[in-house]
Chain A
């Protein structure tokens, strides 16, 4: 039986379409990062990073509190817009067991970050970010990126780019309402 001369053409076409679909699938998943739909609902990856005054801080130090984890940089203008909101939100919700932690992703010296933090009157701890931490949160390709952690240390939400203040407030309220608060020692 003679094979149609079009068979190799259509085989190649099908292979090309499948290859294209597979590459697109892989690409889309890579672009969204492993955090998308995989990190949310799981324990927030713990880290140990240096604060601006040289101390070591772990995320797990805040277990029992709701945490807003903000990846930012001094060169990021949208990040600069959020910071005054965070300063207010820390004041507003701090007493209810809420903590903001800023992770500075600057490549420059921490003096620049400290100078910026002072200029912006930041009232919450800033730690100096590392690539390994960034990767554990799914690879932070853009800034700002903000994660919300409930009182049990579980990641409940993530926001890419500048959001409205009300989005933060909603996530903060949700984070504070979930998990067990740490009991004050008697």
Chain B
């Protein structure tokens, strides 16, 4: 019991330190656990991925206003069983910041959602598949910017069996009922 308490205290210390390390001093985007999306063999399904930009920071949207700014981009690794389709980004918000009140930037702050279209092949086996990728973003605060980062992401797709194709009715011959 005593050892348990001692270990808990040590873990608590390390946790407190780690919280600070990845806290506001380290701008980061966090991803919420993605829901398991069920997709039927051969049919498309949309996977919603939720992200959060830490308070006090902003990241460029997928369509920043300047060609020199680094857009937020989700890259999903190709898989042999699931076709990765279109990625849909939310519209950014036009915001001005103290470093340049005259020039609005198109950014994401707080929570935002990116959607990925997936389509399992018709021949893929039923089961759960993990899809991986990265979210590339570049964050700034009110007076400085941080180098681009790549946040690893992953989500599960549960493949369900496609319903059997509708049976064709055989040509019927006339019956006589007596």
Is the beta-carbon distance between B17 and A9 smaller than 8 angstroms? no
Kindly state whether residue B21 has any CB partner on chain A within 8 Å: yes
Main secondary structure of the interface of B (DSSP, over half): mixed
Task: Give the interface size class of chain B.
Answer: 20 to 34
Q: Which residue of B lies closest to A107 (CB)?
A: B148
Q: How far is the CB of B75 from chain A (nearest CB, A)?
A: 16
Instruction: Tell whether A142 pairs with B97 under 8 Å between CB atoms, given A23-B13, A31-B25.
Output: no
- The digit string for B113-156, where 1 denotes a CB below 8 A from any CB of A, is 00000000000000000000000001010011111100000000
Kindly state whether residue A112 has any CB partner on chain B within 8 Å: yes
Instruction: Tell whether A74 pairs with B68 under 8 Å between CB atoms, given A12-B9, A162-B99.
Output: yes
Give the contacting residue for A78; candidates B16, B20, B69, B143; CB below 8 A.
B143
CA distance A77 to B59 in the complex (A): 12
Is the beta-carbon distance between A144 and B144 smaller than 8 angstroms? yes
List residues of chain B with CB within 8 A of the CB of A23: 13-14, 17
Q: Which residue of A lies closest to B99 (CB)?
A: A78
Is the beta-carbon distance between B20 and A27 smaller than 8 angstroms? yes
List residues of chain A with CB within 8 A of the CB of B13: 16-17, 19-20, 23
CA distance A20 to B5 in the complex (A): 16
Q: Which residue of A lies closest to B16 (CB)?
A: A20
Kindly state whether residue A185 has any CB partner on chain B within 8 Å: no
Is the beta-carbon distance between A75 and B100 smaller than 8 angstroms? no
Is the beta-carbon distance between B145 and A12 smaller than 8 angstroms? no
Find residues 1-54 in chain A having any chain B CB closer than 8 Å to their own CB: 5, 8-9, 11-13, 15-17, 19-20, 23-24, 27, 31
Is the beta-carbon distance between A8 and B144 smaller than 8 angstroms? no
Is the beta-carbon distance between A75 and B6 smaller than 8 angstroms? no
List residues of chain A with CB within 8 A of the CB of B21: 27
A-B pair count, CB < 8 Å, reads: 88
Give the contacting residue for A162; candidates B10, B103, B144; CB below 8 A.
B144
Give the contacting residue for A75; candidates B9, B12, B16, B138; CB below 8 A.
B138
CA distance A19 to B21 in the complex (A): 15
Q: Which residue of B lies closest to A116 (CB)?
A: B68
Is the beta-carbon distance between B70 and A77 smaller than 8 angstroms? no
List residues of chain B with CB within 8 A of the CB of A19: 10, 13-14
Is the beta-carbon distance between B100 and A13 smaller than 8 angstroms? no
List residues of chain B with CB within 8 A of the CB of A182: none
Give the contacting residue for B144; candidates A20, A78, A80; CB below 8 A.
A78
Q: Which residue of B lies closest to A18 (CB)?
A: B13
Give the contacting residue for B6; candidates A8, A142, A161, A162; CB below 8 A.
A8
The 21 sampled A-B contact pairs (Cβ below 8 Å) are A8-B3, A9-B6, A11-B6, A12-B9, A15-B9, A16-B10, A19-B14, A20-B13, A20-B17, A23-B13, A27-B21, A31-B25, A74-B68, A75-B145, A78-B99, A81-B100, A105-B147, A107-B148, A141-B147, A143-B145, A162-B143
